[in-house]
């Protein structure tokens, strides 16, 4: 039976009786399992109005009480972790354990946001001038919005929602229409935790809904994660309409492998970071850069052996390393990139095209693919493939490897594997990439640091989670205060005030 997914507005589910809908597939079987409504601009405007009406009372709630809602939410998510992970797997296609990690990484940011009473404190200087005190305060922006991708339907919405509502804003979430059920369920849990109706709203849609959020004056800030062309569009459109914007795009994450590295450790790291979640991660390692021909030959041999042992199957079945891609279109797109690599002359060591799972022949599967002798002019090196495709791009020496990662137009994440502390220290200082791992294949910072890429991977001045998130979702007001003695008059002054 095909179920209907609802918007979540004003603290309750809202399912339109008519309008446009989009199919939600089960990637493991290829069957349609649900329909999701695509909101009109007018429906989005009504959601914004609901959020705007609810926000002032929430902003007036003291930060400690807002934090207690987050505390209760953490407990509820842990209570329902299995349900959430199964729901996520069924719509996205990632394995059950990977889905639990998706939820958990989002929950860690919520845990950080419980510290909002401290994070929202301003500064105070007494006696800044004669009888003058100066202090600052952080205040919410009002109504803010998040537009989030399919590949992390729990984690990235929570990265946006947590700091925004902890700071006193109301939030409108437009999640991916490919796997929309988990964001709705999270909104329900927030209300169960005590969040007032209207503070968190989930509205489904496509470009019409997105444009309505970007152009409505009541939306004061927009956060986005997705592909670089869309990130750039959302960023430029949002700022053209006077909004703050924090937009993160594509990636092409390199792993530099030095000759002194433990190649068994490296190969294991590359297999997990390259093929986990079918490569549908913005922090996936998609380019291995071994330094020197000897290192490259040995690494290629180890990777070929491990790739042949990878197990691909249904998302909710036990014993598989990764599941299907999110859609048939994704399989087609990635398969086209594989052919481009072949046509460009790269060495195809493992070909995942035509992969099928018995009993699930309609599923969106692609086997692990491995290329060697990839050069920087090839599309499979330059562009984000976003699938289970790992390429080996050989470097003659350390400087060439450093330049490859630094010169690429994307600058999301990078890693170096080495036993040489000097090389690691030099690499972290010089590489032109926003997040760096040393013997860590997926350098996603923990919740109390910030997450964000450089160059074409990120648009905006502030990153996700950590203290940057609270800066992004608040505005600073500075007060200069003086209480002169009763009856004292100093006359009129036409000189600019100083602290002299």
At residue 499 the predicted structure's pLDDT band, cuts being 50, 70 and 90, is low
Distance CA 308, CA 265 (A): 17
CATH architecture of 3-249+457-479: 3-Layer(aba) Sandwich (3.40)
Can you read off the two tokens belonging to residue 184? 């709705």
At residue 258 the predicted structure's pLDDT band, cuts being 50, 70 and 90, is very high
Contacts with 409 (C-beta within 8 Å, 6 or more apart), sequence order = 252, 382, 455, 456
pLDDT at 19 over 90: no
* Residue whose token pair is 């709630």: 61
Query: Residues 287-308: pLDDT tens digits?
Result: 999 999 999 999 999 999 999 9
In which region does residue 93 sit, left (phi positive, over 0), alpha (psi from -120 to 50) or beta (all else)? left
* pLDDT for residue 306: 97
Label each residue of 257-308 as H, E or C.
ECCCCCHHHHHHHHHHHHHHHHHCCCCCEEEEEEECHHHHHHHHHHHHHHHC
- Is residue 496 packed enough to be buried (19+ CB in 10 Å), middle (13-18) or exposed (0-12)? exposed
Distance CA 257, CA 296 (A): 9
Of 67-71, 131-135, 172-176, 226-230, the least confident: 131-135
| Catalytic residue positions, numbered | 282
Find the angle CA(417)-CA(442)-CA(324) to the nearest 5 degrees: 125
**Secondary structure (3-state) at 324:** coil
Q: In the chain, what are the domain boundaries?
A: 3-249+457-479, 253-438
* Residue whose token pair is 């203290």: 467
Can you read off the two tokens belonging to residue 104? 């958990």
Other beta carbons less than 10 A from residue 319's beta carbon: 7
* Residue whose token pair is 């209480």: 483
Query: Residues 375-418: pLDDT tens digits?
Result: 999 999 999 999 999 999 999 999 999 999 999 999 999 999 99
Q: What letter would DSSP give residue 60?
A: H
pTM of structure: 0.94
* pLDDT for residue 500: 63
Query: Residues 74-100: pLDDT tens digits?
Result: 999 999 999 999 999 999 999 999 999
Looking at 96-218, which runs of residues are DSSP E strands?
Answer: 124-129, 132-140, 143-147, 170-174, 200-202
- Cα–Cα nearest to 9, from 52, 60, 72: 52
Distance CA 187, CA 189 (A): 5
At residue 15 the predicted structure's pLDDT band, cuts being 50, 70 and 90, is confident
Domain 253-438: CATH superfamily is: Aldehyde Dehydrogenase; Chain A, domain 2 (3.40.309.10)
- Is residue 369 packed enough to be buried (19+ CB in 10 Å), middle (13-18) or exposed (0-12)? buried
- Cα–Cα nearest to 313, from 367, 350, 274: 367
Other beta carbons less than 10 A from residue 23's beta carbon: 14
* Residue whose token pair is 């036993």: 419
| Helix 155-166 and helix 181-192, axial crossing angle in degrees, nearest 10 | 30
Which helix (H) or strand (E) segment holds residue 211: the answer is: helix 207-215
pLDDT at 126 over 70: yes
Distance CA 449, CA 465 (A): 7
Q: Please, what is the end-to-end C-alpha distance for the chain in angstroms? A: 76
Other beta carbons less than 10 A from residue 303's beta carbon: 25
């Amino acid at each position: 039976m095909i179920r209907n997914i609802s918007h979540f507005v004003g603290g309750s589910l809202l399912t339109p009786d008519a309008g446009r809908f989009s199919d939600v597939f089960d990637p493991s079987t290829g069957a349609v399992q649900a329909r999701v409504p695509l909101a009109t601009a007018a429906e989005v405007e009504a959601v914004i109005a609901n959020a705007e009406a609810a926000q002032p009372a929430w902003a007036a709630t003291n930060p400690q009480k807002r934090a207690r809602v987050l505390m209760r939410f953490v407990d509820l998510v842990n209570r329902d972790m299995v349900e959430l992970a199964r729901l996520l797997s069924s719509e996205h296609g990632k394995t059950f354990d990977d889905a639990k990690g998706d939820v958990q990484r989002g929950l860690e940011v919520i845990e950080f946001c419980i510290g909002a009473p401290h994070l929202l404190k301003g500064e105070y200087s007494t006696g800044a001038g004669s009888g003058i005190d100066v202090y600052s305060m952080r205040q919410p922006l009002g109504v803010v919005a998040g537009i989030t991708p399919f590949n992390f339907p729990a984690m990235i919405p929570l990265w946006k929602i947590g700091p925004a509502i902890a700071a006193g804003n109301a939030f409108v979430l437009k999640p991916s229409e490919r796997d929309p059920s988990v964001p709705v369920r999270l909104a329900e849990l927030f209300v169960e935790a005590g969040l007032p109706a209207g503070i968190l709203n989930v509205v489904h849609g496509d470009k019409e809904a997105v444009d309505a959020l970007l152009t409505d004056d009541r939306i004061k800030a927009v956060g986005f994660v997705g592909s670089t062309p869309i990130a750039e569009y959302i960023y430029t459109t949002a700022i053209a309409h006077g909004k703050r914007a924090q937009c993160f795009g594509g990636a092409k994450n390199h792993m530099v492998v030095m000759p002194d590295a433990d190649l068994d450790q490296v190969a294991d790291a590359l297999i997990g970071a390259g093929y986990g979640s079918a490569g549908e991660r913005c922090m996936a390692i998609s380019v291995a850069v071994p330094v020197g021909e000897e290192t490259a030959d040995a690494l290629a041999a180890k990777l070929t052996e491990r790739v042949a042992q990878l197990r691909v199957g249904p998302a909710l079945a036990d014993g598989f390393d990764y599941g299907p891609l999110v859609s048939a279109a994704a399989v087609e797109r990635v398969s086209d990139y594989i052919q481009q690599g072949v046509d460009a002359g790269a060495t195809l060591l493992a070909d995942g095209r035509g992969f099928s799972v018995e009993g699930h022949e309609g599923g969106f599967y692609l086997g692990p693919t491995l290329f060697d002798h990839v050069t920087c002019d090839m599309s499979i090196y330059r562009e984000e493939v976003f699938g289970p495709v790992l390429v080996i791009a050989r470097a003659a020496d350390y400087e060439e490897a450093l330049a490859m990662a630094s010169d690429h137009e994307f600058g999301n994440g990078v890693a170096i594997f080495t036993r040489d502390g000097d090389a690691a220290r030099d690499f972290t200082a010089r590489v032109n990439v926003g997040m760096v791992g040393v013997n860590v294949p997926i350098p996603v910072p923990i919740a109390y640091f910030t997450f964000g890429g450089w160059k074409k991977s990120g648009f905006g001045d502030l990153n996700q989670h950590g203290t940057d998130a609270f800066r992004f979702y608040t505005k600073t007001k500075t007060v200069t205060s003086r209480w002169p003695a009763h009856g004292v008059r100093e006359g009129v002054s036409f000189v600019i005030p100083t602290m002299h």
